[in-house]
Structures are given as C-alpha cells and as structure tokens.
Structure 1
C-alpha cells in the first residue's frame, strides 16, 4: 500500500493525526527533501528506508514504490502542504493504477492556509472578495493562456500565487495589466509556519523591490487583494437581525 501524505506547510505539528500515524508505521518514506520539514522524519520507525525525492525522477520514485510493494512493505510518499496543489501526484497515481498497486491520499494543511494564518487574515470578506484564485506565474512549466495572471487579475478577487517568487517583476506587470491598481495591497509570506517565517507587506507595484530588500528568492507565497486592507461588511451569519435554520432574527 502506498499513502500520499500531506506534510503540512512547515511546522511539524501541522501534519494531520492520520498522517503522523502512517509516517510512524511506514517501512519506506519518500519525501520532498527540499520542502518538507526534516523534523517530521523523526517519526520514522527504526529500520525505515528513507529516500529524498529532490534528486529523483518520477521513474526512480515509482521504482522504489513498486519494489516496496513487491516486498510487502508500506510506503509513505510525503509531500509538502497538501498534495493536491502542485504536488505532481496524478502521474504517480496513474503509474500505481497501471500496476494495480493500492494507494490512498491523506490531505494536509496547504501553505495558502498557513499564509493566511501568518497574515492573520481572512481571504473571503463580505463586500470585499468571495473568491480565492490560486495560481502561478508561467515559468519553465507553462500555464494555459486562458489562465494567465493578467486574465485572472481581471476578476479583482483575492489571489494566492505559488511558485512565483523568482518572477516578481513580471508578476507585478501582469497583475497591473489585468486591472489591479498599483497600490493594491499585497504580501510576501516566506516559509509560512516555519520557525523562520517572515511576512512582508507591500503593494502589487513593490513586490520585486520588497523581496529584494528582504533577501527572499524562493519558498514564499504571494497574496494579493483588498482583503489585506481591513475594511469589510459584517457577516450575515452572526448578525442578530438575520434569520437562519438555527436562529430567528431579532427585530431592532
């Protein structure tokens, strides 16, 4: 059996209870060494085989999984954050299905959630934004034209950008070209929930300058939107005049 486990966004205690249990029971662990907190590997039992996938190809990763299955061993494929976002797990699952190897997926705390916690912010605020767009800049991995940052920016909603820290000048241009005013609030969240977490607030126009001043070149998320300003309307759910299934509104 192979388990794809979300390691969480950094802090070792942000892995799920299920993920931690599987990690402690695994015979083989394949982890994204450049991103997963190494403290999590302390959960591994004695004799567990540990592989760092940072230097491995898909074929090499699958070879380890397949051999472990032939040997009757349990494998944990430990991904950063939640494996459903930029985890490249679909191609791994397809290979497992082709060989009729059973697998399961254990979700984790994504870094976009960790970033919101670091910012002490809510992405979805009444009368500000009710939509969160998660995307990335096109780099060596292309992005469909219909999903270009400029096209997505037309919505003027909350945006969270992964894998774009090295392209901040281009990102600023795309955001502004899409319609965000230059003074739109933005933030760079470096290593959300890690011990060396850093939050840098700026605007869409000053993203690149801010990152340069702070020495941030990778392992960061970019958040954009008016949700960072602080203004919003009160939620209807807890408004005393609002009636719903569990409470009758009060007349004032």
Structure 2
C-alpha cells in the first residue's frame, strides 16, 4: 500500500490503462469492414495486436531496427485489410491512424483532474510523439508532461523507457508511482525501482500470484482516493 507521503510523482501508462485500446480498434475495424460479424472483428483485432506485439518485441530484442508506432500501426492496418479483403486506400489509411482516436475509460479524465491537484502527473506511452499528441487531444487527457518511448527509440518494458520518466521526475525512483493495467508494464517499472499500482481494465494483463505490486485497485477513483486521503 502506498500513500500520499510516499509519492512525489505519478506516472501513467496510456494505452489500455487510460484509453480503451481494444474497444477503439474494434470500432475502427467495424468501420473499415462493416459486413464483419463480431467473431470476424475479434479475429481481425487479434491480427492487429499480434503484429504490434511481435514487432515491438523484435525491436526490444534488437532483431529489428526501431520504428515508431505510426509505422507499426500502418503495417498492422495493412495486414488487417489483406485478411479482410479491403483494398480501398482511404479506408486503410483511416484504419492505420485508429490508435490516435481511442476513447478514454469513463473514470480517466476525472481521475486525472483530481489527482493532478495534488501530484505532478506524467504520461508514459509506447505511442509515438505525434500519435500521443493526437491521442491525448482526442481522449481529453491532460498531463503536466507526456513522454513517448520514441525518445528512447525502444518500447516498454525496456528499462530505457522508464528512465525517461525517472529523469523527468527528478526524484528517486522509489518516490515515483507507475500506474498501469498491464502487469508486464509494472514489472518493468518495478525493475527500475519505481513503485507500482495495478488498475483493473477489461482486456488488461492482470497480476499473477507472484506479483508484488504496491497497490491493486478496481478503478482510477479508488486509486485517487487512496493517494489523496489526508
């Protein structure tokens, strides 16, 4: 359990934690392939997600030169289009930028506003700088600082990405709280000495019995209540 006296800066993952990435991508795929049924949309979403995860893993392992998320998303959109038989260039182009127009979870905007009254807040995302700018604007997310893994030319959970947040915070990592809906992300932050809080989201990556995170909450307001109690 962490309290307000333990933390100086709060760092949030964005994709999946503050915005509904799977839901937003499903909606974009439905627009691109209006005849697809639910099962087909889910299968196409899996094509997208598997491509992104595989390519980012290749980059963190040094098996592919760094490419930002705009490039990877364009590749994923092309794969989805090929699988679905979509050939219209405008449709594929719109699909490739779907990751820049993801809806915020219902508690995200208000939770950030509440927390921002008491703590400096940093967004730390694998999204490219340009994609993160547009995503923040589209979802209505407001930060004191937003950092992209593009600055480290790699992807979380590479330690260089978390170091961006530590450097920006200007305090010891154990005074920084990393908040995410993905246990793999929190493990990466924990390995760099940061405190950790898991927030439950649909389609997230839940902790295992061996994970020892500082906080586990069902929603953002529960976390804010824990951190802002006097």
- Considering the TM-score relative to the shorter chain, is it more than 0.5? no
Structure with the largest fraction of helix: 2
Q: Larger relative contact order (C-alpha < 8 A, sep ≥ 6)?
A: 2
Which structure is larger by alpha-carbon Rg, 1 or 2?
1
Higher strand share: 1
